[in-house]
């Protein structure tokens, strides 16, 4: 069966129906909780208890800002008796500059992954800076996506063209990426053959790729030893369609295929003038725009508010960012064969997001204020992403989050001097080397998104330079806990509150006190060992 | 399934086990615990475990200076061929030791692959797939580690010694990442602990306590995996002497030849004995764009002596029946000898070799034309090559893993197992 | 610098050949060049004939022809002696190709180079067994064997003994290997008279490639016998190719003292080197990753006075009559006017 016009019509109908849902002024967070709860009741499931303040504090800090609270923040939040302290904290974190940094980090991974295909994409500060700016000023998502897809300017001064640069001159690869990221659909099977169980035909794949067939990466300059690239678009050139991959033979010439929107109409394209001569892009000059841009037509179609895929895709993707499992899971595989777990909820989220002009900060605020988000992670059967949201998800910290969490909790960030000692790494991961951190912690998951961890990560944790974080400068955690003028109990409490953002249980209090109070000339060594244990344990390694 | 490994006395029992061993990946791993509960079965399972040693010719060894001699032809180069212990089969004069091992190996003279440069070729001949902008394919070592590895043992399942390729575990995930050892046996960074034993030990006990606090009311799978990987990293401390050879080298120097590659081959044999599923041993560097004959004269003799020693040693210890030895690089070399007396990259027709683990010995598969320019008979693609490797290791080449939602078979869709190579 | 190839410089004539030519000698009296290489045969070229063409002189032994020398055996006529990669030496009557004599195992492994004394009585050879051997040219009797070049370089890589030369007075032979070791032997006393290592000619990479490159590819005495030229390639940046500077060193071999260095920034290995008759110029040929090169220096100047780039690598040089220079190498034999080759900086301007 084809999900063509029929299903599109249904899609619009769903959007229209759910528009009614959001019209009754119920906040989206309540819509979420109602619909999730309705499924639990139907399935007779018991959800986990709500997260404690301590659990919530660390989780939301990491999810919004990619960091953890300081000891002082923790103590003050836990002691705060006001009823809306969680909502207040959320508002504060959404305005924190680290929110923009963290969302930019996440989108950098969505657009490039840890190991992009090449062509200088390992040095992409331009687009990273640009993403940070967009999240800082809360650019609406449709505008953000449009800018990436139009790719104007160059990779260094502007940023967005870098997305296309990684797929240099491969319209099929760009098409796969765009479809997954912005439309939430997987077209790659249709690259080689008509899929027996899916909607898309090969001509759908190449019809979309045809929009991108005229793009060319142009070198337009250099600055600071980096090359500036821009995306040029020719006025002519077509994608040649040669049929199923299994019927390919060398020298087989394909048919030119005209651009066609996914399961939609063919592009209405003005003819080129008869005496037209194709331009040749010159090095170090911005490429002139084409007379008619196919790329811009595609960008406009993808990001228009009534695109049947666009709003659903982003609503689902950001949902999964905070709740673990997408309502359609995986988030980039929306298809008739992969139905949402909560169809009405997804429709309501998509509609609400569209109605709020793709305001991601508003949307995220609703998500993390929901009771669903604020469940404890304890109570499922131990999966990374518990079924039907009966408990909060557990996820590994990214390399960036992990280092930031170490820097904050040890007090390194608070006491570091502006000029680090000789031989100590500078940069975002200081005092650790970004190369090792990214190598050992950059991709902790398998291809299906499940955490695995690995030997190398633990060799680094066990034998690596974590000791560099354990500064003894006044104000650092190690200096504080090994200060014998304080009672041992207070110091153990401090250790747990600083590193794990919760007070120790009695048994922990006792065991830890025993460990550190062995009479020894170098008692701070015992404390350093205790810190290492808490810095490398599962409770620290994961957001839960 | 077309493999005969191990001795025949266990045949019926093995047939019984085979069903449980060759089901899906997850199934195999999950079932180990249960199987090991029964000592007899556990022993049998161990015996049945397959290993693979990949001898990787960095840069691409020349078929004309090894297994596909064209003596007297314009493309033949300077070396003569010599007889081997398989009547009618000749190899290059640079390989006198391997000439006496030809009854153990199967040579493929009809490789036709699809990546002619080093990065692409290294990727291709480690994964079976061409590099892709959208999928990170795993290396053969990661796949063998996943399907023939033994969780919970002391050594990593996938060890690379002085070799090339950075595809690693790809989408199979960090658990199957290679453990890389340098050309002189140097271990990867952070392998060694600087802590005194008692400090490490008390720290470990405290850590176990803290982990148990987290998991006591939370059966987190992530915490379990995190802890297992920690244990594996810790165990590695106690087995580092397995990477050291100095004590034994004198005894084996003659067999393997006194070369770095010889030492690495001995290390590979020792690691197989210790239960490691996959070991890759590299030799640099065959990229002989200039001075081809001199380079092969320097590189082939130590390599072939080590390889012959390895086959002999594996055979003597009864390990060859369960250990596949693969010999390949990323590319072959051009028939034409260039301006610089070198040979350039060539993938339309070149040679590889397999031995052990159910591979028919004494066989030459496929044929090149008179000048070695084109495959004359029975071309073998990279996909066919890997399908055959997996089949020989009792791994179903059509088994699928997932890169995101995309199912990816171990050997590319459409690959054929070269059944003629399997006994 | 007078480096760019001038368009006016063209070879006088050239023959397109098959494979790589490693061996070359000229019967100056008759104006015939003989050459051979990877095709395993020996071909001849009558240098003064039109149209320019080469012809098969004789089929070889089925092994590469690595070297070739020509002697005059009065009153019978010329004799050509070839050395081969199967370890043999053969004596031929060039007009017919008839084999007059052969030594089957002159060396264990390949014969790499041959040299003939000025009086034509002594023949010296070097081979992959790292030995220098001296023969009675007329009878093929082995007179002396000189051992001393190591089979491995100090770093443990396989070495090769590439070249041998005889001094103009016929008394001494010089030999040089891959590691840069140069030895001069007294052929009458059977002793070693000089020895040094020019290590700049040898590059090894123990880390990334685990391989070595380079070597002294040719040694030649100056016309007065006082100077020994050694040619090859300087330190290589990437051992995958000939990415290193072309290099010739001139040595006062009796004093074991380097007189001068003739270098060039051009990346190439120099496979052969010759002095002009007056000893005032040195010409060397070889090639790099971008093709062949012919360089000439005026003594006393480090930079070459002339550089000609060509397609194929050059492996041998030989003087023909009229001060014309013959080169043999990859798929070509070419004849050059020496005026062109030796053109000075001034004359080019």
Same domain for A334 and A425? no
Quick one: pLDDT band at residue B292, thresholds 50, 70, 90? very high
pLDDT (0 to 100) of residue A198:
64
Please report which helix (H) or strand (E) contains residue A369, including its range. Answer: helix A360-369
Cβ separation B210–A533 shorter than 8 A = yes
Quick one: pLDDT band at residue A502, thresholds 50, 70, 90? very high
**Can you tell me the distance from the alpha carbon of A59 to that of A324, in angstroms, rounded to the nearest whole number?**
13
Q: Which of A33, A10, A108 has the alpha carbon at shortest distance from A345?
A: A33
Q: Which of C335, C343, C339 has the alpha carbon at shortest distance from C13?
A: C335
Helical H segments across C52-107, by residue range: none
**Can you tell me the distance from the alpha carbon of B265 to that of B55, in angstroms, rounded to the nearest whole number?**
8
Cβ separation B289–C312 shorter than 8 A = no
Q: How many domains does chain A have?
A: 2
**Can you tell me the distance from the alpha carbon of A34 to that of A349, in angstroms, rounded to the nearest whole number?**
13
- Candidates C240, C310, C328: best to mutate against B (most CBs of B within 10 A) is C240
Quick one: pLDDT band at residue B44, thresholds 50, 70, 90? low
Average pLDDT over residues B342-359: 97
Residue A66 buriedness (CB in 10 A; 0-12 / 13-18 / 19+): buried
Q: Which of B348, B307, B333, B322 has the alpha carbon at shortest distance from B44?
A: B322
Q: Are B181 and B201 in contact (CB under 8 A)?
A: no
Rounded to 5°, the CA angle A527-A529-A532 comes to 110
Chains touching chain A, criterion 3+ CB pairs below 8 Å:
B
Chains C and A touch (3+ CB pairs under 8 A): no
Same domain for A363 and A399? no
Residue B8 pLDDT exceeds 70: no
Same domain for A330 and A418? no
ipTM metric: 0.89
Q: Are C133 and C81 in contact (CB under 8 A)?
A: no
More confident residue, A419 or C270: C270
pLDDT (0 to 100) of residue C278:
87
**Can you tell me the distance from the alpha carbon of C69 to that of A137, in angstroms, rounded to the nearest whole number?**
84
Determine the distance from the C-alpha atom of residue A267 to the mean position of all C-alpha atoms in its chain, rounded to a whole number.
32
Please report which helix (H) or strand (E) contains residue B143, including its range. Answer: helix B140-148
Bridge partners, C40 (sequence order): none
Quick one: pLDDT band at residue A257, thresholds 50, 70, 90? confident
In a domain, A34, yes or no: no
pLDDT (0 to 100) of residue A114:
87
**Per-residue pLDDT tens for B57-88?**
999 999 999 999 999 899 999 999 999 999 99
Question: Which domains are delineated in chain C?
Answer: 13-19+113-348 (2.130.10.10)
pLDDT (0 to 100) of residue A234:
93
Same domain for A410 and A480? yes
Report chain B residues whose CB lies below 8 A from the CB of C291.
Answer: 339
In a domain, A31, yes or no: no
Tally of CB atoms within 10 A around B407: 12
Residue C124 φ/ψ, nearest 5 degrees: -115, 150
Percentage above 70 pLDDT, chain B? 89
Q: Which of A335, A289, A284 has the alpha carbon at shortest distance from A312?
A: A335
Which chain A residues in 85-124 lie under 8 Å from chain B, judged by CB atoms? 115, 117
Helical H segments across B257-381, by residue range: 260-273, 292-316
Same domain for A143 and A277? yes
CA distance B404 to chain A (A): 5
Residue A225 falls in which region: left (phi positive, over 0), alpha (psi -120 to 50) or beta: left
Report chain B residues whose CB lies below 8 A from the CB of A393.
Answer: none
- DSSP SS3 for A259: coil
Cα dihedral B242, B245, B246, B250, rounded to 10, equals: 140
Which chain B residues in 46-105 lie under 8 Å from chain A, judged by CB atoms? none
**Can you tell me the distance from the alpha carbon of C322 to that of B159, in angstroms, rounded to the nearest whole number?**
66
pLDDT (0 to 100) of residue A19:
45
One DSSP character per residue, A474-500 reads TTSHHHHHT-TTS-HHHHHHHHHHHHT
**Can you tell me the distance from the alpha carbon of B33 to that of B136, in angstroms, rounded to the nearest whole number?**
31
Same domain for A363 and A400? no
Assess A448–B contact: CB distance below 8 Å, yes or no.
yes
**Can you tell me the distance from the alpha carbon of A319 to that of A28, in angstroms, rounded to the nearest whole number?**
12
Average pLDDT over residues B86-93: 97
pLDDT tens per residue across all 349 residues of chain C: 344 433 334 578 999 999 999 999 999 999 999 999 999 999 999 998 888 999 999 999 889 999 999 999 878 899 999 999 999 999 999 999 999 999 999 999 999 999 999 999 999 999 999 999 999 999 999 999 999 999 999 988 889 999 999 999 999 999 999 999 999 999 999 999 999 999 999 998 877 777 788 999 999 999 999 999 999 999 998 877 889 999 999 999 999 999 999 988 889 999 999 999 889 999 999 999 889 999 999 988 888 988 899 999 999 999 988 678 999 999 999 999 876 666 554 333 2
pLDDT (0 to 100) of residue C11:
78
Q: Which of A374, A376, A321 has the alpha carbon at shortest distance from A349?
A: A321
Quick one: pLDDT band at residue B3, thresholds 50, 70, 90? very low
Same domain for A116 and A227? yes
**Can you tell me the distance from the alpha carbon of B217 to that of B165, in angstroms, rounded to the nearest whole number?**
43
Per-residue CA distances from A392 to A62, A312, A445, A449 (Å): 14, 22, 18, 16
Nearest to A452 among B175, B188, B403 (CB): B175
Same domain for A226 and A299? yes
**Per-residue pLDDT tens for B236-288?**
888 888 888 888 899 999 999 999 999 999 999 999 999 999 999 999 889 99
Q: Are A212 and A294 in contact (CB under 8 A)?
A: yes
Which chain A residues in 161-180 lie under 8 Å from chain B, judged by CB atoms? 166-167, 170, 173, 176-177
Average pLDDT over residues A306-321: 95
In a domain, A503, yes or no: yes
Please report which helix (H) or strand (E) contains residue A315, including its range. Answer: helix A310-323
Exposure string (b/e) for B2-26, b if CB count within 10 Å is 16 or more? ebebeeeeeeeebeebeeebeeebe
Average pLDDT over residues B118-145: 94
Assess C86–B contact: CB distance below 8 Å, yes or no.
yes
In a domain, A70, yes or no: yes
**Can you tell me the distance from the alpha carbon of A10 to that of C157, in angstroms, rounded to the nearest whole number?**
74
Exposure string (b/e) for C54-72, b if CB count within 10 Å is 16 or more? beebbebbebbbbbbbbbe
pLDDT (0 to 100) of residue B46:
54
More confident residue, B192 or A152: A152
Same domain for A363 and A404? no
Same domain for A208 and A251? yes
As a three-state string, the secondary structure of A72-128 is: HHHHHHHHCCCCCHHHHHHHHHHCCHHHHHHHHHHHHHHHHCCCCCCCCCCCCHHHH
Q: Across chain A, what does the average pLDDT equal?
A: 89
**Can you tell me the distance from the alpha carbon of A200 to that of A190, in angstroms, rounded to the nearest whole number?**
6
Interfacial residues of B (vs C; Cβ cutoff 8 Å): 59, 72, 74, 78, 80, 183, 260, 283-285, 287, 289-291, 294-295, 297-299, 337-342
Per-residue CA distances from A349 to A245, A301, B266, C141 (Å): 39, 21, 62, 99
**Can you tell me the distance from the alpha carbon of B359 to that of B274, in angstroms, rounded to the nearest whole number?**
23
Residue C203 buriedness (CB in 10 A; 0-12 / 13-18 / 19+): buried
Same domain for A59 and A103? yes
Domain that holds residue A476: 395-543
Tally of CB atoms within 10 A around C4: 9
Q: Are B124 and B382 in contact (CB under 8 A)?
A: yes
Which distant-in-sequence residues (6+ apart) come within 8 Å of B339 by Cβ?
C20, C287, C291, C292, C311, C312, C313, C330, C331
Same domain for A286 and A399? no
pLDDT (0 to 100) of residue B9:
29
Q: Are C274 and C316 in contact (CB under 8 A)?
A: no
Quick one: pLDDT band at residue A196, thresholds 50, 70, 90? low
pLDDT (0 to 100) of residue C343:
58
In a domain, A40, yes or no: no
Quick one: pLDDT band at residue B303, thresholds 50, 70, 90? very high
pLDDT (0 to 100) of residue C337:
85
Range of A20-24, A178-182, A360-364 with top mean pLDDT: A360-364
Assess A435–B contact: CB distance below 8 Å, yes or no.
no
Cβ separation C39–B74 shorter than 8 A = yes
Roughly what angle, to the nearest 10 degrees, separates helices A343-355 and A360-369? Answer: 140
Determine the distance from the C-alpha atom of residue C296 to the mean position of all C-alpha atoms in its chain, rounded to a whole number.
15
């Amino acid at each position: 069966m084809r999900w063509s016009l029929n299903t599109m019509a249904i899609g619009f109908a769903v959007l229209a129906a759910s528009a009614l849902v959001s019209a009754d002024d119920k906040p989206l967070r309540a819509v979420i909780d109602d619909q999730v709860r309705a499924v639990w009741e139907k399935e007779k499931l018991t959800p986990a208890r709500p997260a404690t303040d301590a659990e919530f504090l660390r989780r939301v800090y990491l999810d919004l800002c990619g960091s953890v609270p300081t000891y002082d923040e923790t103590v003050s939040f836990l002691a705060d008796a006001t009823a809306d302290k969680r909502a207040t904290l959320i508002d504060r974190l959404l305005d924190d500059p680290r929110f923009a940094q963290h969302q930019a980090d996440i989108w950098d991974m969505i657009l490039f992954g840890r190991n992009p295909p090449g062509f200088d994409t390992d040095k992409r500060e331009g687009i990273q800076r640009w993403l940070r700016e967009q999240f800082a000023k809360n650019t609406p998502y449709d505008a953000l996506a449009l800018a990436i897809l139009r790719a104007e300017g160059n990779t260094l001064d502007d940023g967005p063209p870098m997305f296309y640069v990684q797929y240099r001159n491969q319209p099929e690869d760009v098409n796969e990426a765009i479809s997954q990221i912005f439309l939430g659909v997987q077209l790659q099977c249709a690259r080689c053959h008509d899929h027996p169980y899916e909607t898309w035909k090969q001509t759908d794949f190449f019809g979309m790729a045809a929009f991108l067939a005229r793009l060319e990466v142009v070198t337009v300059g250099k600055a600071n030893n980096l090359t500036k690239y821009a995306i040029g678009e020719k006025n002519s050139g077509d994608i040649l369609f040669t049929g199923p991959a299994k019927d390919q033979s060398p020298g087989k010439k394909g048919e030119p295929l005209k651009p066609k929107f996914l399961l939609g109409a063919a592009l209405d394209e003005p003819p080129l003038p008869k005496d037209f001569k194709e331009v040749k892009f010159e090095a170090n000059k911005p490429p002139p725009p084409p007379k008619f841009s196919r790329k811009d037509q595609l960008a406009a179609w993808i990001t228009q508010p009534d695109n049947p895929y666009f709003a659903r895709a982003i609503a689902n993707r950001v949902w999964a960012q905070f709740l673990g499992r997408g309502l359609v899971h995986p988030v980039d595989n929306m298809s008739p064969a992969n139905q949402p777990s909560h169809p009405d909820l997804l429709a309501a989220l998509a509609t609400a997001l569209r109605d709020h002009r793709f305001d991601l900060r508003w949307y995220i605020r609703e998500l993390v204020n929901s009771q669903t988000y604020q469940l404890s992670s304890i109570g499922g059967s131990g999966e990374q992403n518990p079924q039907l949201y009966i408990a909060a998800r557990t996820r590994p910290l990214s390399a960036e989050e992990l280092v930031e969490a170490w820097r904050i909790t040890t007090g390194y960030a608070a006491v570091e001097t502006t000029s680090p000692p000789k031989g100590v790494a500078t940069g975002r991961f200081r005092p650790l080397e970004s190369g090792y951190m990214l190598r050992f912690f950059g991709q902790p998951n398998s291809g299906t998104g499940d955490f695995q961890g690995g030997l190398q990560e633990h060799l680094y944790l066990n034998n690596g330079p974590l000791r560099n974080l354990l500064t003894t400068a006044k104000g650092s955690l190690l200096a504080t806990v090994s200060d014998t003028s304080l009672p041992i109990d207070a110091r153990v409490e401090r250790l747990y509150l600083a590193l794990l953002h919760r007070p120790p249980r009695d048994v922990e209090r006792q065991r830890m006190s025993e460990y550190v109070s062995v009479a020894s000339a170098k008692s701070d060594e015992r404390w350093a060992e205790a810190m290492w244990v808490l810095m490398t344990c599962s409770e620290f390694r994961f957001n839960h | 399934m077309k493999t005969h490994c191990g001795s025949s006395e266990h045949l019926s029992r093995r047939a019984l086990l085979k069903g449980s061993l060759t089901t899906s990946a997850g199934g195999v791993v999950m079932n180990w615990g249960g199987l090991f509960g029964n000592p007899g079965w556990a022993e049998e399972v161990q015996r049945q475990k397959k290993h693979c040693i990949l001898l990787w010719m960095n840069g691409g060894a020349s078929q004309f200076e090894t297994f596909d001699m064209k003596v007297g032809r314009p493309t033949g180069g300077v070396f003569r061929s010599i007889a081997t212990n398989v009547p009618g089969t000749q190899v290059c004069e640079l390989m006198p030791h391997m000439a006496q091992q030809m009854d153990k190996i199967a040579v493929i003279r009809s490789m036709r692959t699809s990546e002619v440069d080093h990065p692409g070729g290294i990727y291709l001949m480690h994964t079976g797939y061409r590099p892709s902008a959208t999928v990170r394919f795993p290396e053969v070592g990661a796949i063998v580690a996943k399907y023939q590895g033994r969780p919970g043992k002391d050594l990593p399942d996938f060890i690379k010694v002085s070799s090339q390729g950075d595809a690693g575990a790809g989408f199979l995930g960090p658990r199957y990442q290679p453990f890389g050892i340098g050309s002189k046996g140097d271990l990867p960074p952070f392998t060694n602990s600087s802590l005194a034993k008692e400090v490490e030990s008390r720290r470990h006990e405290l850590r176990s306590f803290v982990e148990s606090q987290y998991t006591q009311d939370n059966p987190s799978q992530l915490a379990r995996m995190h802890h297992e990987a920690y244990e594996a990293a810790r165990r590695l401390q106690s087995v580092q002497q397995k990477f050291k050879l100095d004590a034994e080298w004198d005894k084996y120097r003659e067999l393997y030849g006194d070369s770095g590659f010889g030492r690495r081959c001995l290390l590979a044999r020792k690691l197989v004995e210790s239960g490691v599923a996959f070991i890759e041993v590299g030799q640099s560097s065959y990229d002989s764009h200039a001075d081809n004959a001199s380079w092969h004269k320097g590189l082939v003799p130590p390599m072939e002596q080590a390889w012959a020693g390895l086959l002999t040693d594996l055979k003597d210890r009864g390990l060859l029946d369960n250990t596949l030895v693969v010999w390949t690089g990323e590319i072959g070399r051009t028939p034409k000898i260039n301006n610089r007396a070198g040979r350039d990259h060539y993938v339309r027709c070149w040679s590889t070799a397999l031995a052990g683990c159910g591979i028919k010995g004494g066989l030459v598969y496929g044929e090149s034309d008179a000048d070695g320019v084109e495959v004359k008979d029975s071309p073998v693609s990279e996909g066919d090559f890997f399908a055959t490797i997996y089949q020989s290791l009792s791994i179903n080449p059509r088994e699928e893993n997932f890169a995101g939602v995309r199912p990816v078979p171990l050997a590319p869709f459409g690959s054929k197992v070269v059944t003629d190579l399997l006994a | 610098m007078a480096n760019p190839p001038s368009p006016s410089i063209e070879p006088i004539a050239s023959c397109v050949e098959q494979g790589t030519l490693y061996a070359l000698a000229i019967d100056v009296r008759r104006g015939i060049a003989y050459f051979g290489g990877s095709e395993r045969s020996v071909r001849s070229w009558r240098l003064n004939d039109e149209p320019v063409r080469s012809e098969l002189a004789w089929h070889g032994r089925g092994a590469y022809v690595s070297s070739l020398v020509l002697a005059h055996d009065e009153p019978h006529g010329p004799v050509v002696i070839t050395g081969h990669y199967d370890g043999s030496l053969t004596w031929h009557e060039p007009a017919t190709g008839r084999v007059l004599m052969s030594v089957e195992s002159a060396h264990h492994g390949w014969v790499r180079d041959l040299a003939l004394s000025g009086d034509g009585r002594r023949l010296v050879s070097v081979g992959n067994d790292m030995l220098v051997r001296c023969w009675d040219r007329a009878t093929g009797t082995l007179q002396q064997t000189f051992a001393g070049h190591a089979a491995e370089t100090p770093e443990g890589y396989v070495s090769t003994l590439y070249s041998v030369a005889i001094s103009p007075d016929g008394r001494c032979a010089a030999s040089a290997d891959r590691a840069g070791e140069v030895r001069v032997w007294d052929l009458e006393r059977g002793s070693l008279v000089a020895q040094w290592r020019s290590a700049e000619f040898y590059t090894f990479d123990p880390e990334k490639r685990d391989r070595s490159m380079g070597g002294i590819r040719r040694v030649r005495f100056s016309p007065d016998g006082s100077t020994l030229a050694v040619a090859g390639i300087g330190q290589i940046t990437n051992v995958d190719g000939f990415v290193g500077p072309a290099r010739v060193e001139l040595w006062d071999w009796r004093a074991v003292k380097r007189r001068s260095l003739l270098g060039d920034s051009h990346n190439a290995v120099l496979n052969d080197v010759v002095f002009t008759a007056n000893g005032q110029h040195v010409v060397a040929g070889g090639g790099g990753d971008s093709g062949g090169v012919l360089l000439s220096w005026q003594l006393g100047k480090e930079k070459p006075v002339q550089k000609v780039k060509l397609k194929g690598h050059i492996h041998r040089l030989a003087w023909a009559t009229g001060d014309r220079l013959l080169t043999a190498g990859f798929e070509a034999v070419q004849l050059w006017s020496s005026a062109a080759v030796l053109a000075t900086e001034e004359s080019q301007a």
